[in-house]
Structure 1
Amino acid sequence: MLRDPFIDEAFIPDLMWFIGSFNVYDREDSRGVELEIYNPNNQADRAELIRRYSLNLNCLSYRHKFLLVEALANKLADKSYDFQRLFDVDEDEASSWPRGEWYALESPRAFLQNVYELAQEVWKDDLLQARSEDQSAW
């Protein structure tokens, strides 16, 4: 069984792995300032955000990345899946986004679709390696 890289539990491919790096809670003066220059609704900015932050998951092995991409593909295939809820911030949570556009993305589904497309490119070798293995042996 594939283990979580930070805790000794089974790895659950949660889509928050892709957007958690944009959480600026208690880092408004560092990460928040860094991210303020980007507009997640602008295609060029979005691609830069995804490459630089969403897919910069060096703590994950190629197997983890494969499972994340597969989970994302399954959610994208589900036309009723509510991607907005990933960006909703519960007032009781220690969580916040860099600025207003993050709280009202024009299309959270399109954002995650772009993550999927860029992951196919950026993680190409990792995904190929994982596909060549017997996943049941993980």
Structure 2
Amino acid sequence: MLKHPFLDVPYAPKLRHLLGPFDIYDREETLGEEFSRYDINLDTDRRRLIKKHIIEKSSDLSYRHRKVLCDKLEAALSDETFDFSHLLRQAPGYYCT
């Protein structure tokens, strides 16, 4: 069983974890400006963002953790009924966007 990288509990990947690198709270002038140069509606731009900010920058996760997380993403992308919009909604009172 794969354990959480920082806790002694089973690892349960969530798609929301993939969005962490895109949180620009208090980094609007750096990361926010970088992201504004991309069009997320273009496959090529999405690939660049995913590679740079998810695949290459997830060094706190082992390759096994990244694999399980990517498998979860693949399953969601393969499901035509999966609603990704809930991942992008901001919870009331939550400072991250």
* TM-score above 0.5, yes or no: yes
**Structure richer in helix, relative to its length:** 1
Relative to the length of structure 1, the TM-score reads 0.59
Residue identity opposite 2:63 in structure 1? Y
Match of 2:20 in 1: 20
Contact 1:15-1:72 within 8 A present in 2 as well: yes
Contact 1:18-1:55 within 8 A present in 2 as well: no
Residue identity opposite 1:69 in structure 2? C
Shift of 1:36: 1.8
Shift of 1:77: 3.8
Q: Which runs of 5+ in 2 are unaligned?
A: none
2-structure distance, mates of 1:41, 1:73 = 18
Match of 1:94 in 2: 95
2-structure distance, mates of 1:60, 1:26 = 24
2-structure distance, mates of 1:25, 1:8 = 29
2-structure distance, mates of 1:60, 1:53 = 13
Cα 1:43–1:79 change in 2 (3 A) is closer
Match of 1:30 in 2: 30
What percentage of residue pairs aligned between the two structures are identical?
A: 34
In the TM superposition, 1:118-133 aligns within 5 A as none
CA RMSD across the alignment = 1.9
Structure with bigger gyration radius: 1
2-structure distance, mates of 1:35, 1:3 = 32
Secondary structure of 1:75 counterpart: helix
Secondary structure of 2:80 counterpart: coil
Match of 2:82 in 1: 81
Match of 1:62 in 2: 63
2-structure distance, mates of 1:61, 1:9 = 16
Relative to the length of structure 2, the TM-score reads 0.79
